[in-house]
Structure 1
Amino acid sequence: MSLNIEIDNTTLDILSTRLKKVTSPLDILKWLGNFKPSEVELAIDIISNMTVYTTNEIEEILNDSFQSIFPNISKNERIIVNPIGDFGKSGSMITYFFQKTSFYKTRKNQGKTKLLASVDKIDYKLNKEYTLILLDDFIGSGNTIEEYFLKHIEPIKNNFKGIHFVGIAGMQDGFRRISPLFTKVNIPKSNIFKKAFSNDSSFFGYRNYAKYRELCYLYGKKLTKETVSKTGKIKFNDALGYENSQSLVSFGYGSPNNTLPIIWSNYDGWYPLIPRNSVDKMSIAKNFRKSILHELSILKEFGSEQIRDNFFSFKIKKGKREFSSVDKIDFSIYSIIKLSRTGFTPVSICQKLGIFYTDYENYINKGRERGIFDGKDELTLFGLELYQDAKKCINKCKKSIFYENDEQFKIKNINYTPSKFNGKS
């Protein structure tokens, strides 16, 4: 992919900050490379209007929502929390973040809160009052939530004194669609969005939104499947997000399908900005792991003794000789150091490495034992020293390799004078 993109470093840094460091400046450049040079400025405007939620923001929103629903929990009250969707989808992801909130961690609340993958498994007790919380990260069209409610919740709704939906963000149309189903839909008002290309939307202005919509639809048609109406007319209902949601919202761990496909699709060679599918994330993780392994091979050969002691702890004995090598923990700790210094959030680091958040926490603990991370999961002075040492070593080696290769391919003028001519010296 050619990265001949005309963009200054200041703009690139602003975009990376706007996206909460969920994606790197290089990934932004690769994404911009999907577009023609004349379209790059419009593409920059589009991602400048995106809203991305990080892990900390998600936990804070969830905690505030549950605190507002349950300011005081009575002795007989029980809370059932049910994520919408299959295991590994956004519902179970948001459940994990809920378990990290101070509301859930409070012993009193934890004893009265039950997390269930299915409402069929509720064990009702006499003299107990039950409140049901359906949990998901995003309301798009509202169709999935409505179908889930009608199929699974409607038949048992009389068992609860209240049924709430708790989410992080959503689209205005979807919010209106599901609101009549619940006691309350708990999403901050500032996190409810209009369609990106609505004529009353503030994203691109009343007069200017048409050119942005045209660009997104042009590529969105190529990135999504067509449908055929009863009259035989071909339509691209998802070219601007599932069921024409026109969303510009993403999360640190991925994008909803309601978001514009140009943001998350990888179809036909398109480079995603914030991927949606696990296949995309696995591909990113694979490429990143390759680059880390390359750097570690340089550090093993040319790094300082301090670097070799901390990142090559695996020992192999062959006869009387002992060799050091990098193991999974060494690899992961080095990767976390490198990504955290670049500004990636913990969830984004997990995505880059293709690991679970619990694995990330385990590697942080291992790094803490080595004096690399402190109690706040940040680099200690020793950890920072290791990072700077490794960075200098890699940069020095890369420059050396560059100049060596450069010299190898230069055409040299060689004057060859034979020592003998016609048998005479």
Structure 2
Amino acid sequence: MTEIEIQENLKAKIKVLNETLWDNRVLNPSIEKWLSNFSSDKEKLHALYLLSKFMYFGAVPMRNLLKSLFRDLYRYPLIESIRKNNKDTLDVDLIEEKFKEEEKNTRFIGVGNPSESGAHLLYFFRQENKLSKKLFVYTDEILDRSGATIKLKFPEVKHYVFIDDFCGSGSQATSDDNNIKPCVDEIKKLSTDIQISYLMLFATSSGIKNVKKSGLYDRVEAVIELDDTYKCFDANSRVFPQRDNLYFEKDFTREFCYRLGRPLFYNINQKEGHTGDKLEKLSDYAALGWGDCQLLLGFFHNTPDNTLPIIWYDEDDIDWFPIFKRYNKKYSF
């Protein structure tokens, strides 16, 4: 097969993906503009191949996943516990009555501040699962700091559920850099009876492992777990299966993705205030996606920074055209 035939086959596949799964987000003019980021025909062909492997989840699939999260990771485990505590009862009315009690004493919280994707998805989560808005709070509503001592604002609540769209490295759920970990630490100090869960739509296996290792949460689960085979350049990568090795070179692709991706993330890390050795290390760490996740993954509301930067980078400082744009966080005014 000639290079031109390979390219046409890839474009035909991308066209089908765009029309059926990608919500027509990637039209041919955008593809050509994105390919102009790359210097050689070989790089462009391999970039096109990566694009043909991109996993995109639109609004409808994400809503369905939010139903699955509530049903499979919240409702079913509670029902199993209710049955176990009631002599393995099959009494549907009793089970539902007990479940409603548990639900009433639960609060759902989006990961990140109100402007970020975790909180954004709670709106759809509430709609799809027909939940009362009273079951949703921000982290700063959980604790009462008005008196001399910190108290729980909702003493009747027995279960806090943090919800996130994606967990890559696990740092967002475990780092002191945001308000999640301090909040969880305070809850645990004030009550040992409260269960705290961290539930995600998507998570890497390493991210789940890191969050579990932190010991912060009683339950850590994802609807869809991405193991190392989802990393573009892993030894067992699904992106580069053996049958494609005849035409596409994994090592070559990794080299130019790293070479082009590092300065893109370097610029972002620099704007976030990192300098010196930390800036260099973070840029190495993120050149193939934050946490070296090496993913090809995007959602209708945003593209995770754990995806290859060559896919999503869209900052003013460097002339780079994204194919699945990421709305990067802006931390300063």
Q: TM-score, normalised by structure 1?
A: 0.56
Q: Return the match for 2:37 from 34, 38, 49.
A: 34
Partner of residue 209, structure 1: 250
Deviation, structure 1 residue 143: 1.0
Q: What's the CA shift for 1:190?
A: 5.0
Amino acid at match of 1:140: G
Alpha-carbon distance between aligned partners in 1 of 2:262 and 2:293, rounded to the nearest angstrom: 14
Give the conservation status (yes or no) of the 8 Å contact 1:62–1:167: no
Q: Which residue in the other structure is 2:327 paired with?
A: 277
Q: CA RMSD in A?
A: 3.0
Residue 78 of structure 1 contacts residue 112 of structure 1 at CA under 8 Å; is this kept in 2? Answer: no
Aligned residue number for residue 124 of structure 1: 154
How far off is 1:183 after superposition?
2.6
Per-residue CA deviations over 1:72-108 (Å, capped at 9, x if unaligned) read: 524264111111112221122222221221x2x2xxx
Q: 1:354-373 counterparts in 2 under 5 A?
A: none
SS at match of 1:258: coil
Once the two structures are TM-superposed, the CA of residue 32 in structure 1 deviates from its matched residue by 2.0
Q: Per the alignment, in what secondary structure is the counterpart of residue 229 of structure 1? A: helix
> Which amino acid is 1:229 matched to?
D
- Over 3 Å counting, the alpha-carbon distance change for 1:21 and 1:192 in structure 2 is farther
Deviations 1:8-28 (CA, angstroms, capped at 9, x unpaired): 763441342475225231322
Distance in 2 between residues matched to 1:27 and 1:279, nearest whole Å: 23
Residue 110 (structure 1) aligned to one of 129, 132, 138: 132
User: Are the counterparts in 2 of residues 129 and 160 from structure 1 also a CA contact under 8 Å?
Assistant: no
| Kept after mapping to 1: 8 A contact 2:55/2:297 | yes
In the alignment, structure 1 segments of 5+ residues that lack a partner are 1-5, 281-425
Which ranges in structure 2 are unaligned for 5 or more consecutive residues?
1-6, 77-95, 145-151, 268-274
- Residue matched to 2:147: none
Q: Between the two proteins, what is the percent identity of the paired residues?
A: 23
Residue-pair matches, total: 267
**Corresponding residue number in structure 2 for 1:168:** 201
Q: Conserved in 1, the CA contact under 8 Å of 2:105 and 2:157?
A: yes
What residue in structure 2 maps to residue 153 of structure 1?
Answer: 184
Offset at residue 145 of structure 1 (A): 1.0
In structure 2, C-alpha distance between the alignment counterparts of 1:115 and 1:191, rounded to whole Å: 29
Q: Spell out, residue by residue over 1:227-274, the C-alpha distance to the aligned partner (whole angstroms, 9 max, x if none).
A: 6438x9996322111232212211112111111110110242211111
**Cα deviation, residue 50, structure 1:** 1.8
Which position in structure 1 is the counterpart of 2:308?
260
The residue aligned with 1:82 is 109
Say which one has the larger Rg.
1
How much does 1:132 deviate? 0.8
Alpha carbons of structure 1 residues 173 and 18: separation in structure 2 relative to 1, 3 Å: farther
- Would the alpha carbon gap of residues 129 and 55 (structure 1) be closer, same or farther in structure 2, given more than 3 Å must change? same
* Amino acid across the alignment from 2:158: Y
Query: 2:56 touches 2:299 (CA, 8 Å); kept in 1?
Result: yes
